[in-house]
């Protein structure tokens, strides 16, 4: 085993989801020397496997006042600091004939109590505002819901952490800890690239690994009582709705339809799953049927809309320490100081919560870290915009070869002001790799060079390559060509191509009928029939 | 039995499997780099425009609306409709004087026929052409079709109308602007052919330009008004009197059948099947044994049939070709179906002239090499383009049939 | 309208069947919703490439030993399948499509990634490779067109080098291609091919290719030459001093489109009617016989025929449609072989055998379809719409399409 002697960190943060990235950014902004480690890719866990809903908090207003008021506060903060990750769409809470209209009054009252603007509007007005909404609705409330792109949000946090000096390692897995006299002093990381294990020293380790934090804690010899709660969702081929549509009733399955970028997402279901399944989420036929049945009630057009794929994420629910049975589970933020809790110094776990409160979670974790390290710096993440949302990043454009207007517009949606970093060096760099999502060669190269992209799945999360209607049929091979060029290893890129297509298929087969099946048959003809790719290439 | 393979709802663009077949058959994309191509402009673009209307690209104006992408699409995506509908919905460019002039074919025609000798002379004069070219941006290479001294309608009312009552069968003739103002002879040929088989011809109660040029030049409100007026007249004929409406121009017929509902939102479902094309109407009568045709023995010609884009889209070239094949003395060559490049008023615009000619180039070469007596086509603007770009004269199939017909014998055959 | 046979589907099998019937003097019509899967063809035709994952060297002799019951080849008998296959090169030659290869022994084709796949016939453009593990050259010059994203030089080079062939990668550029490069999406194979229809451009490309080739023994180029005929291919091969090895690119496939064009031309020259962009939307079936069909475009025109052939393809072409709970043949609702439980349609690994790939219509040993187990005596099925074969795992797609189509044509011709 090698020892990384080059540096000693103040804090090592485990987990490249929104919480980990946010914590890394917060700590780095307060002057800590930070290492962020992620075993696979940014936003590859629960962060990237939810609705992408910028909650107003209205959903929790009746049942969980505290979550609701956290949400609306964070909602307003994200609109300021993460403008390029957020779409200010607003949301509707609709009452259908089968629902109890009496719930509406209680709902509105609870929203207001939590500080959420909730206005009852006429159903006819709701139909005008959102033509896709179920026309049989009998009641509607407008709330400040929106959409947030978790991939962009996480990437922006990572970029800023790096700007503030953080070191970031993806494809590095924690395989052990260095514990000396009840104090954690470092981590052992397995590097999937070099296939070697190295030690990294630090004063503090923060476990922000979501549901996988359970396992991380076990590795450290402490117990955190987590319960994996699976939520399945489905992506439709285009934006059916432009406002978020929710049901105005007690939160239930499949009652939120969120527009996000070029698509919309219906979800979720909720079910307990064993830990062994967390790494291999799949969506069952029952879940698909349920999502469709309920989704059509929100927007009947979904019945005739192409389904791109289905996916599932795992929420890290945490049982309170006083109740290890897990009967009273909190959906709130859980911050554990293992020094006081378990007698293990230098180790903190931040978990629970939700995407919406990632920043607040990071703030809590960073506050505790700073306290422990004796650093007296205040959190600034609620005020300082993320890269991409910072006006000052917008440099005057002097490019010889601009990208096409459409590709530029699409890129601005993904990178905000960071789009200025995308340079088309030649006419050929303007060429479009992904035609569904308008991703140019220049943008792909930018992502490969600057945004920790090692494979096509990484690239998809940074740029939406392969996220469109054809799910990679046209673009995967072109993008693989760029990766082959960058890595100078064609075999690796070819294997990656097989892996990527398989990953797309995993989300498609639960919904593979109609055009979705036609599309995948076409993809198989091309990649297996014409190109000759096969499973054996994926060794 | 049968049905529902394809979805024709607003979600139609989702049927696109990104197979890129449409891009092969787009006549513009290969020669005009500014045009994003049918896939990007159509289904791909539509998805982005639903996300944000700002994704609308004014370069969609380079689409010819030939619909060859739709014909090629294996998945019945209405690519051309999606593009034209996007232009209508999102374009911020307002039509100028040139667009008004090119689009208002009937107003221009009305004025021009009244003063036709003057207009024909002046439209051909160099200084006038220079003004059209320099100020109006109407390309100087273009020759406007000549205007007739007497409108078809005037001729019909004066000469033919009275004798139509003798026929027990009836058709309402949608003559369109071209026949009315530029080429009444085709209208006369139609009357000749129809009456020979025992069908009396009448005009519609009221007829306005079908509006195809208004649509392509962005004058949508006016197009819609004219569409409503036409459909009203058509309804009176088809639905109330049970008399089919027949037009000679493939573009007029296509516009009224398909563009009215798809682009203008004018519902024609109840009468759409009653709007027919002259060759289709005539050939179907022959094919079903209802009428018989007799042709002159001395009519011997080599003809080359050119399938106009909207004929290709309607899938009706088979009727014109089958009708022409009925003539014993005709040697018929069917040219490979391709766009001639004019696309109505598109090719008249100065900025489109090179594109227009580049698109038609291989067609012109084939025609010159073949050197037929006539090129035959159902579309009047294809006629202008081919006559302007080759040395071969162009005729409508109905004119060919009228010329070849042994009228007396035909009348005899159809008298029962 | 009356025909001897109406074929629904205008791809490889529909065209092959139509041509064969037309060659024996039958009056045929082909109805095709859009352009076909030939647009994505590799440029080679597979008959039987793999059995249980192993390469097939001698398809003719292997077939008799391994063919499973119910497989389209088994329905006609392995002997008969091989017999039909043996005449395919001559059949192609009659329409000007030159192919190399033999049913006795497979050769290898180079895929767009530089992988070797066993195949039966390859278009004359392509190099026939005998040895899977060895190319006939020690050193090649792989040359792309600058800015063309769809030709995968790095992958090709990597796989070639593994076979011991040294590769250099370069790209050439021509001013005539700038207009395509300016457009971010339309530098596609077919648009490149349109530019290369000009012989002068091909000659200039050849000069650059010769200059870049260095001391290589062959040049490897993207297969983007010869869209409407193979003139550009011939010219390039003549002007390039070294052997030219074409490698296919991302769809659309230029050699595939050319094959489609030449087949369609042959069919039409034989008097066949090809209705493109049209869809059958009604059919009359009585007493186990299809009487007639109607189409979306032709409306009330009744299309009658003695025999009908379903050559509508698989899911991609909507010859089969999957609903969440069942798989159907959408036009006639004929019996389909497919698992009733959707959970059994797929393998969760994309590159494993996918059960849905072998779903299709059920036919008797005369390739006649049935509804509810009752044979429709004049509705045949051919090609990808058939069940019980996996075109990808067997590498048999083109073979089944061609062989069943020609066999069905013979059945119809010999029908009493």
Q: Is C33 on the interface with B (CB under 8 A)?
A: yes
Q: Is A306 on the interface with B (CB under 8 A)?
A: yes
Domain check: are C238 and C297 in the same one? no
* C-alpha distance from residue C98 to each of C126, C244, C255, C314 (Å): 11, 17, 11, 27
Residue C354, in any domain of the structure: yes
- β C99-100/C121-123 pair status: antiparallel
User: What's the rounded Cα separation, in Å, for the pair C261 and B31?
Assistant: 21
User: What's the rounded Cα separation, in Å, for the pair B102 and B41?
Assistant: 25
Banded pLDDT at A326 (limits 50, 70, 90)? low
User: What's the rounded Cα separation, in Å, for the pair A119 and A142?
Assistant: 5
Domain check: are C210 and C172 in the same one? yes
For A60-66, what is the mean pLDDT?
Answer: 93
Residue B1 has pLDDT above 50, yes or no: no
> How many Cβ pairs closer than 8 A exist between chain A and C?
142
Residue A398 has pLDDT above 80, yes or no: no
Got the DSSP string for B343-399? TTTGGGBGGGHHHHHHHHHHHHHHHHHH--SEEE-S-HHHHHHHHHHSSS-EE-HHH
Banded pLDDT at B108 (limits 50, 70, 90)? confident
Residue A422 has pLDDT above 70, yes or no: yes
A2-46+151-225+321-373 fold: FAD/NAD(P)-binding domain (3.50.50)
Residue B134 has pLDDT above 80, yes or no: no
Of A413, A435, A438, the CB nearest to B18: A435
User: What's the rounded Cα separation, in Å, for the pair C331 and C324?
Assistant: 18
Q: Is B55 on the interface with A (CB under 8 A)?
A: yes
For residue B182, the distance in angstroms to the closest alpha carbon of chain C comes to 30
Residue C128, in any domain of the structure: no
Residue C92, in any domain of the structure: no
Q: Is B25 on the interface with C (CB under 8 A)?
A: yes
Strand partners, C321: C328
Classify C320 in phi/psi space as left (phi over 0), alpha (psi -120 to 50) or beta.
beta
Q: Give the count of domains, chain C.
A: 2
Residue C168's domain comprises 138-242
Does the domain spanning B301-407 belong to CATH 3.10.450?
A: no
- Check residue B132 and give its pLDDT: 72
Q: Is B49 on the interface with A (CB under 8 A)?
A: no
Domain check: are C225 and C263 in the same one? no
Domain check: are C207 and C294 in the same one? no
Partners of residue C37 in chain B, C-beta under 8 Å: 74
Partners of residue B60 in chain A, C-beta under 8 Å: none
Interface residue of B33, B269, B289, B359 to substitute, partner C, most C CBs within 10 Å: B33
A305 to B45: CB separation less than 8 angstroms, yes or no? no
- Check residue B130 and give its pLDDT: 72
Q: CATH for A86-148+227-315?
A: 3.30.9.10
User: What's the rounded Cα separation, in Å, for the pair B317 and B325?
Assistant: 12
User: What's the rounded Cα separation, in Å, for the pair B314 and B308?
Assistant: 10
Extents of the domains making up chain B: 10-90, 97-134, 152-289, 301-407
Interface residue of B37, B39, B43, B51 to substitute, partner A, most A CBs within 10 Å: B51
- CATH code, domain carrying C17: 3.50.50.60
For B183-204, what is the mean pLDDT?
Answer: 97
Partners of residue A430 in chain C, C-beta under 8 Å: 184
- Check residue A5 and give its pLDDT: 52
Closest by CA to A82, choosing from A25, A143, A148, is: A148
Q: What is the dihedral of CA B203, B207, B213, B214, to 10 degrees?
A: -170
Per-residue pLDDT reduced to its tens digit, C209-232: 999 999 999 999 999 999 999 999
Banded pLDDT at B142 (limits 50, 70, 90)? confident
For residue A225, the distance in angstroms to the closest alpha carbon of chain C comes to 32
3-state secondary structure A69-122: HHHHHHHHHHHHHCHHHEECCCEEEEECCCCCCHHHHHHHHHHHHCCCCCEEEC
The average confidence (pLDDT) of chain A is 93
- Which chain A residue has the Cα nearest residue C319? A518
User: What's the rounded Cα separation, in Å, for the pair C116 and C159?
Assistant: 9
Domain check: are C338 and C294 in the same one? yes
Q: Is C185 on the interface with B (CB under 8 A)?
A: yes
Residue B8 has pLDDT above 50, yes or no: no
- Check residue C164 and give its pLDDT: 97
Partners of residue C300 in chain B, C-beta under 8 Å: 273
State which H helix or E strand residue B130 sits in: helix B126-134
Whether B148 and B181 have beta carbons less than 8 Å apart is answered as: yes
C115 to A533: CB separation less than 8 angstroms, yes or no? yes
**How many CB atoms sit inside 10 A of residue A129's CB?**
15
Question: Which residues have a Cβ under 8 Å from the Cβ of C132 and sit 6 or more positions away?
Answer: C55, C108, C116, C118
A436 to B7: CB separation less than 8 angstroms, yes or no? no
Question: Which residues have a Cβ under 8 Å from the Cβ of A341 and sit 6 or more positions away?
Answer: A222, A321
Got the DSSP string for B303-324? EEE---HHHHHHT-HHHHHHHH
Q: What CATH architecture does domain B152-289 belong to?
A: 3-Layer(aba) Sandwich (3.40)
Whether A391 and A370 have beta carbons less than 8 Å apart is answered as: no
Got the DSSP string for B9-51? SGGGGGG-----HHHHH-TTTTT-TTS--HHIIIIIHHHHHHH
Partners of residue B46 in chain A, C-beta under 8 Å: 238
A515 to B52: CB separation less than 8 angstroms, yes or no? no
Q: Is A301 on the interface with B (CB under 8 A)?
A: yes
User: What's the rounded Cα separation, in Å, for the pair A177 and C364?
Assistant: 68
* CA-based R_g, chain A, Å: 23
Domain check: are C283 and C231 in the same one? no
- Which chain B residue has the Cα nearest residue A238? B47
Chains with 3 or more CB pairs under 8 A to chain B: A, C
The average confidence (pLDDT) of chain B is 91
Q: Is C323 on the interface with A (CB under 8 A)?
A: yes
Whether C39 and C253 have beta carbons less than 8 Å apart is answered as: yes
User: What's the rounded Cα separation, in Å, for the pair C192 and B259?
Assistant: 33
Q: How many residues does chain B have?
A: 416
Banded pLDDT at A286 (limits 50, 70, 90)? very high
Of B23, B37, B273, the CB nearest to C299: B273
C323 to A506: CB separation less than 8 angstroms, yes or no? no
**DSSP state for residue A181 in the 8-state scheme:** T
Q: Is A237 on the interface with B (CB under 8 A)?
A: yes
Query: Order of strands, edge to edge, in the sheet holding C99-100?
Result: C44-45, C121-123, C99-100
Domain check: are C204 and C269 in the same one? no
Tokens found for residue B90: 């999102």
C35 to B73: CB separation less than 8 angstroms, yes or no? yes
For B261-278, what is the mean pLDDT?
Answer: 96
Partners of residue C149 in chain A, C-beta under 8 Å: 431, 433, 441, 478, 481
Banded pLDDT at A401 (limits 50, 70, 90)? low
For residue C318, the distance in angstroms to the closest alpha carbon of chain B comes to 7
User: What's the rounded Cα separation, in Å, for the pair B356 and B66?
Assistant: 12
- Check residue B112 and give its pLDDT: 72
Q: Where are the beta strands (DSSP E) in C300-393?
A: 303-310, 321-323, 326-328, 336-337, 360-361, 368-371, 374-381
CA C165 to chain centre: 29
Residue A10 has pLDDT above 50, yes or no: yes
Q: How many CA atoms lie within 13 A of C6 on its CB side?
A: 24
Banded pLDDT at A203 (limits 50, 70, 90)? very high
Domain check: are C267 and C183 in the same one? no
Q: Where are the alpha helices (DSSP H) in C188-326?
A: 189-195, 199-212, 231-239, 254-269
Q: What CATH architecture does domain B10-90 belong to?
A: Orthogonal Bundle (1.10)
User: What's the rounded Cα separation, in Å, for the pair C69 and C82?
Assistant: 16
B24 to C190: CB separation less than 8 angstroms, yes or no? yes
Of A427, A509, A532, the CB nearest to C115: A532
For residue A507, the distance in angstroms to the closest alpha carbon of chain C comes to 10
Closest by CA to A22, choosing from A127, A149, A130, A160, is: A160
Classify B65 in phi/psi space as left (phi over 0), alpha (psi -120 to 50) or beta.
left
A493 to C348: CB separation less than 8 angstroms, yes or no? no
- Which chain A residue has the Cα nearest residue C317? A518
The pTM assigned to this predicted structure is: 0.95
Residue A388 has pLDDT above 50, yes or no: yes
Domain end (from C178, C210, C242): C242
**How many CB atoms sit inside 10 A of residue B97's CB?**
10
Residue C49, in any domain of the structure: no
Closest by CA to B46, choosing from B24, B2, B14, B7, is: B14
Interface list for C 256-295 with B (CB within 8 A):
257, 265, 268, 273, 275-283, 285, 295
For residue B125, the distance in angstroms to the closest alpha carbon of chain C comes to 35
Q: Is A529 on the interface with C (CB under 8 A)?
A: yes
Residue C153, in any domain of the structure: yes
Of B17, B20, B44, the CB nearest to A519: B17
Please work out, in degrees rounded to the nearest 5, the angle formed at the alpha carbon of residue A336 by the alpha carbons of A331 and A339. 170
User: What's the rounded Cα separation, in Å, for the pair C90 and A200?
Assistant: 71
User: What's the rounded Cα separation, in Å, for the pair A531 and A526?
Assistant: 6
* C-alpha distance from residue A119 to each of A57, A58, A106 (Å): 14, 11, 13
Domain check: are C262 and C235 in the same one? no
**DSSP state for residue C171 in the 8-state scheme:** E
Looking up tokens 């920043």, which residue turns up? A359
Banded pLDDT at B119 (limits 50, 70, 90)? confident
- CATH code, domain carrying C153: 3.40.50
- Check residue A318 and give its pLDDT: 86
Residue C337, in any domain of the structure: yes
Q: How many CA atoms lie within 13 A of C109 on its CB side?
A: 31
Interface residue of A306, A529, A534 to substitute, partner C, most C CBs within 10 Å: A529
User: What's the rounded Cα separation, in Å, for the pair C357 and C395?
Assistant: 12
For C152-159, what is the mean pLDDT?
Answer: 96
Residue B61 has pLDDT above 50, yes or no: yes
Looking up tokens 């273009």, which residue turns up? B142
Residue C249, in any domain of the structure: no
Domain check: are C181 and C278 in the same one? no
For C381-398, what is the mean pLDDT?
Answer: 97
């Amino acid at each position: 085993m090698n020892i990384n002697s080059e540096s000693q960190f103040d804090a090592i943060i485990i987990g490249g989801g929104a919480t980990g990235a946010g914590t890394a950014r917060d700590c780095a902004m307060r002057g800590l020397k930070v290492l962020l480690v992620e075993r696979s890719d940014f936003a590859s866990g629960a962060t990237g496997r939810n609705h992408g809903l910028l909650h107003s908090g209205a959903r929790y207003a009746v049942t969980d006042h505290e979550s609701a008021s956290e949400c609306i506060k964070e909602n307003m903060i994200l609109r300021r600091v993460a403008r390029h990750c957020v779409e200010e769409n607003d949301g509707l809470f609709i009452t259908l004939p089968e629902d109890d209209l009496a719930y509406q009054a209680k709902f509105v009252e609870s929203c207001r109590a939590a500080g959420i603007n909730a206005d009852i509007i006429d159903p006819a007005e709701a139909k005008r505002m959102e033509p896709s909404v179920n026309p049989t609705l009998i009641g509607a409330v407008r709330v400040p819901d929106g959409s947030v792109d978790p991939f962009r949000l996480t990437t922006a946090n990572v970029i800023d952490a790096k700007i503030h000096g953080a070191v970031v390692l993806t494809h590095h897995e924690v395989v052990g800890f260095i514990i000396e006299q009840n104090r954690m002093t470092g981590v052992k990381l397995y590097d999937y690239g070099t296939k070697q294990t190295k030690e990294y020293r630090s004063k503090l380790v923060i476990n922000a690994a979501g549901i996988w934090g359970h396992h991380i804690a076990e590795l450290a010899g402490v117990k955190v009582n987590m319960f994996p709660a699976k939520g399945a969702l489905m992506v439709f081929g285009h934006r059916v709705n432009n406002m978020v549509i929710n049901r105005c009733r007690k939160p239930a399955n499949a009652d939120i339809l969120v527009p996000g970028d070029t698509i919309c997402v219906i979800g979720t279901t909720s079910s307990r799953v064993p830990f062994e399944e967390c790494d291999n989420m799949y969506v069952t036929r029952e879940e698909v049927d349920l999502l469709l049945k309920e989704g059509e009630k929100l927007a009947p057009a979904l019945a005739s809309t192409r389904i791109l794929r289905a996916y599932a994420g795992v929420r890290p629910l945490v049982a309170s320490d006083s109740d290890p049975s897990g009967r009273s589970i909190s959906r709130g933020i859980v911050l554990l100081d293992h020094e006081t809790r378990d007698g293990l110094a230098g180790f903190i776990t931040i978990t629970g919560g939700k995407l919406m409160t990632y920043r607040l979670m990071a703030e809590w974790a960073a506050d505790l870290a700073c306290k422990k390290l004796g650093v007296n710096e205040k959190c600034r993440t609620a005020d300082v915009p993320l890269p991409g949302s910072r006006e000052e990043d917008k440099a005057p454009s002097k490019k010889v070869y601009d990208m096409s207007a459409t590709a530029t517009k699409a890129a601005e949606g993904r990178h905000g002001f960071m789009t200025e970093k995308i340079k088309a060096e030649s006419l050929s760099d303007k060429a479009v790799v992904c035609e569904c999502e308008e991703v140019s060669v220049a943008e792909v190269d930018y992502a490969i060079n600057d945004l920790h992209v090692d494979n096509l799945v990484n690239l998809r999360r940074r740029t939406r390559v392969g996220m469109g209607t054809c799910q990679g049929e046209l673009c995967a091979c072109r993008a693989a060509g760029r990766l082959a060029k960058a890595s100078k290893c064609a075999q690796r890129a070819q294997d990656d191509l097989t892996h990527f297509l398989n990953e797309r298929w995993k989300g498609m087969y639960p919904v593979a009928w109609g055009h979705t099946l036609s599309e995948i048959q076409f993809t198989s003809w091309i990649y297996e029939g014409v190109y000759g790719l096969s499973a054996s290439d994926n060794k | 039995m049968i049905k529902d393979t394809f979805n024709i709802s607003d979600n139609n663009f989702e049927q696109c499997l990104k197979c890129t077949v449409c891009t092969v058959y787009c006549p513009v994309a290969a020669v005009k780099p500014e045009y994003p191509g049918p896939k990007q402009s159509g289904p791909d673009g539509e998805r982005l425009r639903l996300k944000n209307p700002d994704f609308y690209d004014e370069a969609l104006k380079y689409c010819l609306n030939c619909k060859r992408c739709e014909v090629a699409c294996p998945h019945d995506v209405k690519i051309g409709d999606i593009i034209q509908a996007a232009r209508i919905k999102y374009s911020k460019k307002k039509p100028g004087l040139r667009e008004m002039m090119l689009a208002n074919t009937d107003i221009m025609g009305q004025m021009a026929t009244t003063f036709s000798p003057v207009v024909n002379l002046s439209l051909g004069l160099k200084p006038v052409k220079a003004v059209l070219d320099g100020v109006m941006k109407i390309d100087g290479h273009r020759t406007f079709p000549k205007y007739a001294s007497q409108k078809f309608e005037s001729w019909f009312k004066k000469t033919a109308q009275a004798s139509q009552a003798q026929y027990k069968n009836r058709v309402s003739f949608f003559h369109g602007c071209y026949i009315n103002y530029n080429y009444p002879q085709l209208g006369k040929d139609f009357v000749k052919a129809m009456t020979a088989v025992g069908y009396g011809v009448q005009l519609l109660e009221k007829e306005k330009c079908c509006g195809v040029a208004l649509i392509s030049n962005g004058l949508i409100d006016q197009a819609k008004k004219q569409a409503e007026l036409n459909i009203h007249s058509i309804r009176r004929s088809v639905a109330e009197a049970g008399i089919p409406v027949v037009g000679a121009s493939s573009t007029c017929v296509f516009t009224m059948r398909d563009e009215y509902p798809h682009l203008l939102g004018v519902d024609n479902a109840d009468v759409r099947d009653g709007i027919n094309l002259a060759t289709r109407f005539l050939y179907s009568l022959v094919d079903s044994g209802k009428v018989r045709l007799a042709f002159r023995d001395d009519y011997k010609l080599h003809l080359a049939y050119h399938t106009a884009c909207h004929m290709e889209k309607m899938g009706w070239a088979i009727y014109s070709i089958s009708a022409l094949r009925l003539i014993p003395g005709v040697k018929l060559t069917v040219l490979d179906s391709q766009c001639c490049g004019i696309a109505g008023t598109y090719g008249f615009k100065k900025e489109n002239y090179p594109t227009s000619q580049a698109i038609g180039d291989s067609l012109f070469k084939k025609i010159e090499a073949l050197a037929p007596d006539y090129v035959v086509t159902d579309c009047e603007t294809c006629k202008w383009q081919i006559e302007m770009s080759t040395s071969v004269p162009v005729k409508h199939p109905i004119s060919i049939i009228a010329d070849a017909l042994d009228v007396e014998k035909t009348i005899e055959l159809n008298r029962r | 309208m009356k025909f001897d046979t109406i074929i629904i589907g205008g791809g490889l099998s529909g065209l092959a069947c139509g041509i064969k019937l037309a060659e024996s003097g039958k009056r045929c019509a082909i109805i095709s919703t859009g352009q076909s899967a030939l647009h994505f063809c590799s440029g080679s035709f597979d008959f039987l490439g793999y059995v249980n994952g192993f390469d097939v060297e001698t398809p003719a002799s292997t077939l008799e030993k391994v063919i499973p019951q119910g497989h389209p080849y088994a329905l006609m008998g392995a002997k008969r399948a091989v017999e039909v296959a043996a005449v395919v090169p001559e059949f192609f030659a009659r329409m000007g499509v030159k192919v190399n290869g033999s049913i006795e022994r497979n050769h290898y084709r180079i895929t767009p990634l530089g992988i070797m796949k066993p195949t039966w016939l390859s278009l004359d453009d392509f190099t026939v490779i005998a040895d899977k593990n060895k190319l006939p050259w020690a050193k090649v010059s792989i040359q792309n067109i600058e800015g063309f994203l769809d030709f995968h030089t790095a992958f090709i080079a990597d796989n070639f080098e593994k076979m011991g062939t040294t590769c250099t990668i370069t790209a050439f550029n021509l001013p005539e291609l700038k207009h395509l490069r300016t457009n971010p999406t339309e530098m596609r194979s077919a648009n490149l091919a349109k530019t290369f229809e000009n012989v002068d451009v091909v000659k200039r490309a050849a000069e650059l290719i010769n200059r870049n080739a260095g001391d290589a023994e062959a040049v490897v180029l993207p297969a983007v030459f010869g869209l409407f005929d193979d003139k550009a291919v011939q010219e390039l091969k003549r002007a390039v001093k070294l052997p030219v090895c074409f490698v296919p690119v991302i769809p659309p496939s230029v050699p595939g489109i050319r094959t489609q064009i030449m087949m369609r031309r042959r069919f039409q020259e034989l008097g066949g009617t090809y209705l493109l962009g049209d869809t059958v939307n009604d059919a009359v079936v009585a007493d186990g016989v299809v009487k007639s069909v109607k189409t979306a475009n032709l409306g009330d025109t009744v299309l009658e025929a003695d025999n009908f052939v379903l050559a509508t393809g698989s899911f991609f072409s909507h010859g089969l449609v999957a609903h969440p709970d069942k798989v159907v043949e959408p036009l006639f609702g004929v019996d389909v072989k497919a698992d009733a439980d959707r959970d059994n349609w797929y393998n969760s690994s994309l590159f494993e055998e996918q059960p849905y790939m072998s779903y299709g219509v059920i036919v008797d040993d005369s390739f006649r379809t049935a509804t509810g187990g009752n044979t429709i005596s004049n509705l045949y099925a051919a090609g990808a719409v058939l069940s019980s074969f996996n075109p990808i795992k067997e590498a048999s797609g083109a073979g089944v399409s061609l062989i069943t189509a020609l066999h069905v044509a013979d059945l119809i011709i010999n029908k009493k």
